[in-house]
Protein backbone atom coordinates (compact mmCIF):
# COMPACT_ATOMS: atom_id res chain seq x y z
CA UNK A 1 0.00 0.00 0.00
CA UNK A 2 1.43 3.37 -1.02
CA UNK A 3 2.07 5.92 1.71
CA UNK A 4 0.88 9.49 0.94
CA UNK A 5 3.97 11.63 0.44
CA UNK A 6 2.73 14.75 2.23
CA UNK A 7 2.00 13.08 5.60
CA UNK A 8 5.22 11.08 5.25
CA UNK A 9 7.30 14.21 4.63
CA UNK A 10 5.59 16.02 7.48
CA UNK A 11 6.22 13.16 9.91
CA UNK A 12 9.88 12.87 8.94
CA UNK A 13 10.39 16.65 9.18
CA UNK A 14 8.89 16.77 12.68
CA UNK A 15 10.91 13.75 13.76
CA UNK A 16 14.14 15.34 12.53
CA UNK A 17 13.24 18.63 14.22
CA UNK A 18 12.66 16.78 17.49
CA UNK A 19 16.00 14.97 17.28
CA UNK A 20 17.86 18.18 16.47
CA UNK A 21 16.15 19.95 19.36
CA UNK A 22 17.03 17.09 21.70
CA UNK A 23 20.74 17.23 20.85
CA UNK A 24 20.83 21.04 21.09
CA UNK A 25 19.12 21.00 24.48
CA UNK A 26 21.43 18.26 25.69
CA UNK A 27 24.47 20.36 24.77
CA UNK A 28 22.92 23.41 26.44
CA UNK A 29 22.11 21.55 29.67
CA UNK A 30 25.61 20.06 29.88
CA UNK A 31 27.10 23.51 29.27
CA UNK A 32 24.86 25.43 31.69
CA UNK A 33 24.70 22.85 34.46
CA UNK A 34 28.11 21.27 34.04
CA UNK A 35 29.23 21.87 37.62
CA UNK A 36 26.06 20.50 39.31
CA UNK A 37 26.19 17.47 37.03
CA UNK A 38 29.85 16.89 37.88
CA UNK A 39 29.00 17.21 41.58
CA UNK A 40 26.21 14.64 41.15
CA UNK A 41 28.57 12.22 39.40
CA UNK A 42 31.20 12.66 42.12
CA UNK A 43 28.67 12.33 44.96
CA UNK A 44 27.25 9.12 43.51
CA UNK A 45 30.68 7.82 42.41
CA UNK A 46 29.20 7.07 39.00
CA UNK A 47 29.84 9.16 35.84
CA UNK A 48 26.87 7.57 34.07
CA UNK A 49 24.28 9.15 36.41
CA UNK A 50 24.92 12.72 35.29
CA UNK A 51 24.66 11.82 31.60
CA UNK A 52 21.41 9.93 32.23
CA UNK A 53 19.86 12.89 34.07
CA UNK A 54 20.99 15.35 31.38
CA UNK A 55 19.55 13.13 28.62
CA UNK A 56 16.23 12.70 30.43
CA UNK A 57 15.85 16.45 31.00
CA UNK A 58 16.77 17.18 27.36
CA UNK A 59 14.30 14.63 26.01
CA UNK A 60 11.51 15.88 28.28
CA UNK A 61 12.15 19.51 27.33
CA UNK A 62 12.31 18.68 23.60
CA UNK A 63 9.02 16.77 23.88
CA UNK A 64 7.35 19.68 25.71
CA UNK A 65 8.50 22.22 23.09
CA UNK A 66 7.30 20.07 20.17
CA UNK A 67 3.94 19.35 21.81
CA UNK A 68 3.17 22.83 23.11
CA UNK A 69 4.76 25.10 20.49
CA UNK A 70 5.03 23.15 17.20
CA UNK A 71 2.26 20.54 17.04
CA UNK A 72 -0.02 21.99 19.75
CA UNK A 73 -1.30 18.60 20.83
CA UNK A 74 -1.89 16.93 24.21
CA UNK A 75 0.62 14.88 26.18
CA UNK A 76 -1.66 11.87 25.73
CA UNK A 77 -0.63 11.72 22.06
CA UNK A 78 2.84 10.57 23.10
CA UNK A 79 1.59 8.26 25.86
CA UNK A 80 2.21 10.73 28.69
CA UNK A 81 -1.35 11.73 29.59
CA UNK A 82 -2.88 11.20 33.03
CA UNK A 83 -4.70 8.05 31.91
CA UNK A 84 -1.42 6.59 30.59
CA UNK A 85 -0.07 6.59 34.16
CA UNK A 86 -2.79 4.22 35.39
CA UNK A 87 -1.25 1.76 37.88
CA UNK A 88 -2.32 -1.40 36.06
CA UNK A 89 -0.59 -0.41 32.81
CA UNK A 90 2.60 0.61 34.60
CA UNK A 91 2.61 -2.55 36.72
CA UNK A 92 2.01 -4.78 33.71
CA UNK A 93 4.85 -3.08 31.85
CA UNK A 94 7.11 -3.51 34.88
CA UNK A 95 6.31 -7.22 35.10
CA UNK A 96 6.74 -7.76 31.36
CA UNK A 97 10.19 -6.21 31.35
CA UNK A 98 11.38 -7.90 34.53
CA UNK A 99 9.96 -11.37 33.94
CA UNK A 100 11.14 -11.74 30.33
CA UNK A 101 14.80 -11.04 31.06
CA UNK A 102 14.60 -12.70 34.49
CA UNK A 103 13.33 -15.94 32.95
CA UNK A 104 16.07 -15.77 30.28
CA UNK A 105 18.80 -15.33 32.92
CA UNK A 106 17.32 -18.10 35.05
CA UNK A 107 17.26 -20.50 32.11
CA UNK A 108 20.90 -19.72 31.26
CA UNK A 109 21.94 -20.34 34.87
CA UNK A 110 20.03 -23.62 34.89
CA UNK A 111 21.83 -24.72 31.71
CA UNK A 112 25.17 -23.76 33.25
CA UNK A 113 25.82 -21.18 30.54
CA UNK A 114 25.86 -18.37 33.10
CA UNK A 115 27.85 -18.66 36.31
CA UNK A 116 27.96 -16.59 39.47
CA UNK A 117 31.56 -15.90 40.50
CA UNK A 118 33.06 -14.00 43.45
CA UNK A 119 33.75 -10.27 43.13
CA UNK A 120 35.42 -7.71 45.40
CA UNK A 121 33.43 -7.16 48.62
CA UNK A 122 31.13 -4.18 49.04
CA UNK A 123 27.58 -3.11 49.84
CA UNK A 124 24.96 -4.54 47.51
CA UNK A 125 22.40 -2.05 48.87
CA UNK A 126 24.58 0.96 48.07
CA UNK A 127 25.33 -0.49 44.64
CA UNK A 128 21.62 -1.09 44.00
CA UNK A 129 20.78 2.52 44.92
CA UNK A 130 23.54 3.88 42.70
CA UNK A 131 22.57 1.64 39.77
CA UNK A 132 18.88 2.54 40.14
CA UNK A 133 19.76 6.25 40.14
CA UNK A 134 21.43 5.69 36.76
CA UNK A 135 19.03 3.23 35.15
CA UNK A 136 15.77 5.10 35.84
CA UNK A 137 16.62 8.42 34.12
CA UNK A 138 18.58 6.63 31.38
CA UNK A 139 15.57 4.43 30.55
CA UNK A 140 13.27 7.46 30.67
CA UNK A 141 15.52 9.36 28.25
CA UNK A 142 15.63 6.47 25.76
CA UNK A 143 11.86 5.97 25.94
CA UNK A 144 11.11 9.68 25.52
CA UNK A 145 13.33 9.81 22.44
CA UNK A 146 12.57 6.45 20.81
CA UNK A 147 9.01 5.59 21.82
CA UNK A 148 7.66 9.05 22.68
CA UNK A 149 7.40 11.94 20.26
CA UNK A 150 9.52 10.28 17.57
CA UNK A 151 7.26 7.22 17.36
CA UNK A 152 4.17 9.43 17.30
CA UNK A 153 5.51 11.72 14.56
CA UNK A 154 6.54 8.83 12.31
CA UNK A 155 3.27 7.01 12.99
CA UNK A 156 1.30 10.09 11.90
CA UNK A 157 2.99 9.95 8.50
CA UNK A 158 3.38 6.22 7.86
CA UNK A 159 1.31 4.18 10.30
CA UNK A 160 2.23 2.27 13.44
CA UNK A 161 4.10 -0.66 11.85
CA UNK A 162 6.61 1.42 9.91
CA UNK A 163 7.02 3.74 12.91
CA UNK A 164 7.89 0.76 15.12
CA UNK A 165 10.39 -0.58 12.57
CA UNK A 166 12.03 2.83 12.06
CA UNK A 167 12.36 3.71 15.75
CA UNK A 168 13.56 0.20 16.62
CA UNK A 169 16.29 0.32 13.97
CA UNK A 170 17.34 3.72 15.30
CA UNK A 171 17.36 2.30 18.83
CA UNK A 172 19.64 -0.52 17.71
CA UNK A 173 22.02 1.80 15.84
CA UNK A 174 22.23 4.06 18.91
CA UNK A 175 23.86 1.18 20.82
CA UNK A 176 26.55 0.41 18.22
CA UNK A 177 29.11 2.48 20.15
CA UNK A 178 28.56 0.60 23.43
CA UNK A 179 31.49 -1.52 24.69
CA UNK A 180 31.59 -5.00 23.15
CA UNK A 181 28.83 -4.38 20.61
CA UNK A 182 28.40 -7.10 17.98
CA UNK A 183 25.98 -7.71 15.13
CA UNK A 184 24.03 -10.10 17.36
CA UNK A 185 23.80 -7.64 20.25
CA UNK A 186 22.62 -4.81 17.99
CA UNK A 187 19.99 -7.10 16.42
CA UNK A 188 18.77 -7.96 19.93
CA UNK A 189 18.63 -4.29 20.91
CA UNK A 190 16.58 -3.65 17.76
CA UNK A 191 14.22 -6.44 18.83
CA UNK A 192 14.07 -4.81 22.27
CA UNK A 193 12.95 -1.65 20.49
CA UNK A 194 10.09 -3.58 18.88
CA UNK A 195 9.18 -5.13 22.25
CA UNK A 196 9.14 -1.77 24.06
CA UNK A 197 7.22 -0.09 21.22
CA UNK A 198 4.63 -2.87 21.49
CA UNK A 199 4.29 -2.14 25.21
CA UNK A 200 3.89 1.58 24.48
CA UNK A 201 1.21 0.98 21.85
CA UNK A 202 -0.63 -1.86 23.60
CA UNK A 203 -1.18 0.21 26.74
CA UNK A 204 -1.07 3.61 25.01
CA UNK A 205 1.38 4.50 27.76
CA UNK A 206 4.98 5.63 27.64
CA UNK A 207 5.03 5.12 31.41
CA UNK A 208 4.44 1.40 30.84
CA UNK A 209 7.28 1.24 28.29
CA UNK A 210 9.55 3.13 30.71
CA UNK A 211 8.66 0.66 33.48
CA UNK A 212 9.37 -2.32 31.19
CA UNK A 213 12.70 -0.83 30.06
CA UNK A 214 13.84 0.07 33.59
CA UNK A 215 12.80 -3.32 35.00
CA UNK A 216 14.61 -5.17 32.19
CA UNK A 217 17.89 -3.38 32.91
CA UNK A 218 17.43 -3.43 36.70
CA UNK A 219 16.93 -7.19 36.87
CA UNK A 220 20.19 -7.79 35.01
CA UNK A 221 22.20 -5.21 36.96
CA UNK A 222 20.95 -5.52 40.55
CA UNK A 223 20.00 -9.12 41.43
CA UNK A 224 22.17 -10.79 38.77
CA UNK A 225 25.10 -8.32 38.81
CA UNK A 226 25.46 -8.79 35.04
CA UNK A 227 26.56 -6.34 32.34
CA UNK A 228 23.87 -4.18 30.77
CA UNK A 229 24.31 -3.32 27.08
CA UNK A 230 28.05 -3.83 27.43
CA UNK A 231 28.34 -1.66 30.55
CA UNK A 232 29.87 -3.37 33.58
CA UNK A 233 28.08 -1.68 36.50
CA UNK A 234 28.80 -2.03 40.21
CA UNK A 235 28.88 -5.70 41.24
CA UNK A 236 30.02 -6.13 44.86
CA UNK A 237 30.45 -9.64 46.32
CA UNK A 238 29.49 -11.55 43.16
CA UNK A 239 29.11 -11.17 39.39
CA UNK A 240 27.26 -13.18 36.76
CA UNK A 241 29.52 -14.10 33.85
CA UNK A 242 29.10 -16.02 30.59
CA UNK A 243 30.39 -19.58 30.48
CA UNK A 244 28.48 -20.77 27.45
CA UNK A 245 28.11 -19.94 23.76
CA UNK A 246 28.02 -16.21 23.12
CA UNK A 247 25.04 -16.59 20.78
CA UNK A 248 23.01 -17.78 23.76
CA UNK A 249 24.43 -15.74 26.64
CA UNK A 250 25.39 -12.46 25.00
CA UNK A 251 28.99 -12.75 26.22
CA UNK A 252 30.50 -9.53 27.59
CA UNK A 253 27.51 -7.53 26.33
CA UNK A 254 25.32 -9.17 28.95
CA UNK A 255 22.41 -11.65 28.87
CA UNK A 256 20.25 -9.32 26.76
CA UNK A 257 22.60 -9.88 23.82
CA UNK A 258 21.85 -13.60 23.42
CA UNK A 259 19.15 -15.84 22.02
CA UNK A 260 17.70 -16.52 25.47
CA UNK A 261 16.75 -12.85 25.81
CA UNK A 262 15.38 -12.82 22.26
CA UNK A 263 13.11 -15.76 23.11
CA UNK A 264 11.93 -13.90 26.22
CA UNK A 265 11.07 -10.81 24.17
CA UNK A 266 9.23 -12.88 21.57
CA UNK A 267 7.21 -14.46 24.38
CA UNK A 268 6.43 -10.99 25.66
CA UNK A 269 5.30 -9.88 22.20
CA UNK A 270 3.10 -12.98 21.93
CA UNK A 271 1.50 -12.11 25.26
CA UNK A 272 0.92 -8.48 24.25
CA UNK A 273 -0.65 -9.50 20.94
CA UNK A 274 -3.10 -11.94 22.46
CA UNK A 275 -3.91 -9.87 25.55
CA UNK A 276 -4.65 -6.84 23.37
CA UNK A 277 -7.00 -8.85 21.19
CA UNK A 278 -8.62 -10.35 24.28
CA UNK A 279 -9.22 -6.90 25.76
CA UNK A 280 -10.67 -5.72 22.44
CA UNK A 281 -13.05 -8.70 22.31
CA UNK A 282 -14.14 -8.13 25.91
CA UNK A 283 -14.85 -4.46 25.28
CA UNK A 284 -16.91 -5.33 22.17
CA UNK A 285 -18.88 -8.05 24.01
CA UNK A 286 -19.96 -5.77 26.84
CA UNK A 287 -23.62 -4.78 26.46
CA UNK A 288 -24.10 -1.12 25.72
CA UNK A 289 -26.33 0.92 27.98
CA UNK A 290 -29.53 1.97 26.32
CA UNK A 291 -29.83 5.70 25.88
CA UNK A 292 -32.71 7.18 27.84
What pLDDT does residue 57 have? 94
In the predicted structure, residue 1 carries a pLDDT above the cut 50? no
Whether 282 shows a pLDDT value over 70: the answer reads no
Q: What is the band of 34 on the pLDDT scale with cuts at 50, 70, 90?
A: confident
Please give the Cα distance from 98 to 89 (Å, whole number): 14
Measured between alpha carbons, how far is residue 101 from residues 34, 79, 104, 126, 145 in Å?
Answer: 35, 24, 5, 23, 23
Q: Evaluate if residue 284 carries a pLDDT over 70.
A: no
Which has more confidence, 196 or 50? 196
Alpha carbons 143 and 171: distance in angstroms, whole number: 10
Question: Given this model, what pLDDT does residue 106 score?
Answer: 95
**Its pTM surpasses 0.85:** yes
pLDDT value of residue 52: 87
Q: Mean of the pLDDT values across residues 162-185?
A: 93
- For the stretch 71-97, pLDDT in tens is 989 999 999 999 999 999 999 999 999
Task: Summarize pLDDT for 229-263 with one digit per residue, the tens.
Answer: 998 888 999 999 998 999 999 999 999 999 999 99
Please report the pLDDT score of residue 116 as a whole number.
Answer: 94
Q: Determine the pLDDT at residue 279.
A: 64
Residue ranges per structural domain of the chain: 78-285
Pick the residue with more confidence: 237 or 10? 237
Average pLDDT, the chain: 89
Per-residue pLDDT, 50: 84
Amino acid sequence: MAIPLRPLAGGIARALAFLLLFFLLQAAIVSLFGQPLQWLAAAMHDPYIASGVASALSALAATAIMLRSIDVRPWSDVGLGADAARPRAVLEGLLLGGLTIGAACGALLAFGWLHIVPAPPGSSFVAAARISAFLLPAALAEELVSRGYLLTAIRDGTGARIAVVFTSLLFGVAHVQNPGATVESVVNVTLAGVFLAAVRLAFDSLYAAWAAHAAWNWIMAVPFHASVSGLALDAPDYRTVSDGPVWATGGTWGPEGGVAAAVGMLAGLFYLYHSRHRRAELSQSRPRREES
